Structure 1
């Protein structure tokens, strides 16, 4: 059954893909973004400035059944704010909870919140994934702000009766991805020899197609109400396996040199790149068994298909 949906952050990486799929399924969408523009697939577009607790959402919420909140102040590698936690709280906590409270007052039935795996923590031991019922242990301001938003939303759900669904994705990739994943693609594309041929960590990732499929499931599923879900491709990869997969998807050779991980870790930390060492050599796994069992959900695409889709956006649509 089609719904009237308010989608925030509609021009972001996840928002754009979600808007396209919701429109394809026939939902009526009110989309918000920082830019004043008409977005394909949206019934109405509303320009919103920086997210905070002072925004009046009354007009945007008229007749809305479900809010999908994809807008956020995102994690940045080179933070410029004098007080990052205060800035993250202003957008991700105050802005989110203000929108949710106004949504409840407007009679919205369900609020789907795109959170982050950073709420759970930054690293796991191989074979010991984060589970949905683990105690959250965020480390950085972004993760802390997302956790505070989650706690506030679930409290609001108990107070008002509006259903809340929280989804915590790990790294999301797909066509047009930016950040660390894009940097990795460029290195493989250049054909440079990389000393990453013997890394045996495990990391959970989620392709944009799998994430969008779960978010759409969360629109209607009765068992999703007031729950927190993890999402991934269901296949955890080492850095070596990921680089090999990217190279295969690009149709290029992978020039990986098997340097021992311990030696790499020592060298990278010696250069003061501790965060880089964690991303390349550390593990971060999530257990999606709750998502599978409660929602009856299985990732519709394999990691191989999602990687191929990064470089050939038509590929996935003809293999589903």
Structure 2
């Protein structure tokens, strides 16, 4: 499929911004960044489309002129400390209604392909040993975020059937890389400070995906003909335990680390008593994905190794330390 112009939503975010900078370096596309706020980190060659809120009333006409592919990465993301009175309604307002508003206008404007960044939470929250999630498994979302992402996926598939616009759904696992936030950043800071951590005996398996690998996969989906109307899971293809992840980060940072081998069962009980059961599940539970479909359908394998991606992620912290 010939692609000349790509619109990326969430252009000031971790993923959207990284994708736009990568596409600009490729030099193959005209680019449009949809932004809620100005982002000076993006190349000036990228056309800006500013909007106040990701909502169902946004008029995307000016942004969609001559666009071939939309990559929709903007969303209301998973919220650890939810404050909305009706979380399900708030997630649906942004992740379903606003997404469908953009997609309908994209179809009317003649956009050929709509790539939707969904979430592994559509599949579920955890996997049993030896039972990795596959792209075509029956969905089983649990929380409002995962439910809203599934509802958006289903509505997009219906729109594709009605309009002929191709829809590609990508469900990433936890994304890390330069500029990562939230819990992954917290782990790096703990290790940087030499804080003893009680995670020396966690034998789970978690799939992760580096920002570089996810961007490479999105670029593949922008042009590959076989990506049309498919759903994909994406990871590094290298699953690790929480203990292995912490040790890998510490090694990359050349930081001494103290990982105490506390029993997982004891820590899980304490976490539940403290109302942190969901956090414990993410730390101690397993979540593995099978990405063999990506190679079978698209010929894609992760180009960046886990070791290299971890080194890149911690490099800014090493650079600061040297100053």
Map Cα deviations across residues 68-106 of structure 1 (whole Å, 9 max, x no partner). 001111111011111111111111101111111110110
| Residue in structure 2 matched with residue 208 of structure 1 by the alignment | 211
Task: Give the 3-state SS of the residue equivalent to 2:260 in structure 1.
Answer: coil
- Decide whether aligned partners of structure 1 residues 126 and 102 sit closer, same or farther in structure 2, where only a CA change above 3 A counts: same
| Residue in structure 2 matched with residue 318 of structure 1 by the alignment | none
| Residue in structure 2 matched with residue 267 of structure 1 by the alignment | 270
Are 1:180 and 2:183 counterparts? yes
Task: Give the 3-state SS of the residue equivalent to 1:71 in structure 2.
Answer: coil
| Residue in structure 1 matched with residue 224 of structure 2 by the alignment | 221
Q: In the aligned structure 2, how far is the partner of 1:75 from the partner of 1:276? A: 13
Q: In the aligned structure 2, how far is the partner of 1:140 from the partner of 1:48? A: 28
**Which shifted more, 47-56 or 198-207?**
47-56
Question: How big is the shift at 1:270?
Answer: 2.5
Q: Structure 2 stretches of 5 or more lacking a match?
A: 319-323
Question: How big is the shift at 1:271?
Answer: 2.2
Q: Structure 1 stretches of 5 or more lacking a match?
A: 316-320
Q: In the aligned structure 1, how far is the partner of 2:97 from the partner of 2:265? A: 43
| Residue in structure 1 matched with residue 321 of structure 2 by the alignment | none
Q: In the aligned structure 2, how far is the partner of 1:43 from the partner of 1:252? A: 39
Task: Give the 3-state SS of the residue equivalent to 1:124 in structure 2.
Answer: coil
TM-score, structure 2 normalization: 0.94
Q: C-alpha root-mean-square deviation of aligned residues, in Å?
A: 1.4
- Decide whether aligned partners of structure 1 residues 37 and 214 sit closer, same or farther in structure 2, where only a CA change above 3 A counts: closer
| Residue in structure 2 matched with residue 44 of structure 1 by the alignment | 47
Map Cα deviations across residues 112-147 of structure 1 (whole Å, 9 max, x no partner). 110000111111112211111111111111111110
Q: In the aligned structure 2, how far is the partner of 1:167 from the partner of 1:24? A: 23
TM-score, structure 1 normalization: 0.95
| Residue in structure 2 matched with residue 12 of structure 1 by the alignment | 13
| Residue in structure 1 matched with residue 301 of structure 2 by the alignment | 298
Q: In the aligned structure 1, how far is the partner of 2:65 from the partner of 2:129? A: 47
Structure 1's consecutive aligned runs of 4 or more residues displaced over 4 angstroms after TM superposition are: none
Are 1:161 and 2:167 counterparts? no
- Decide whether aligned partners of structure 1 residues 42 and 76 sit closer, same or farther in structure 2, where only a CA change above 3 A counts: farther
- Decide whether aligned partners of structure 1 residues 227 and 41 sit closer, same or farther in structure 2, where only a CA change above 3 A counts: farther
8 Å CA contact retained: 1:36, 1:46: no
Q: In the aligned structure 1, how far is the partner of 2:52 from the partner of 2:145? A: 20
- Decide whether aligned partners of structure 1 residues 261 and 116 sit closer, same or farther in structure 2, where only a CA change above 3 A counts: same
8 Å CA contact retained: 2:69, 2:111: yes
8 Å CA contact retained: 1:29, 1:41: no
8 Å CA contact retained: 2:117, 2:170: yes
8 Å CA contact retained: 1:194, 1:256: yes
Q: In the aligned structure 2, how far is the partner of 1:228 from the partner of 1:79? A: 29
Question: How big is the shift at 1:242?
Answer: 0.4
Question: How big is the shift at 1:37?
Answer: 4.9
Task: Give the 3-state SS of the residue equivalent to 1:136 in structure 2.
Answer: coil
Q: How does 1:270-285 map to 2 (within 5 A)?
A: 270-285=273-288
8 Å CA contact retained: 2:227, 2:298: yes
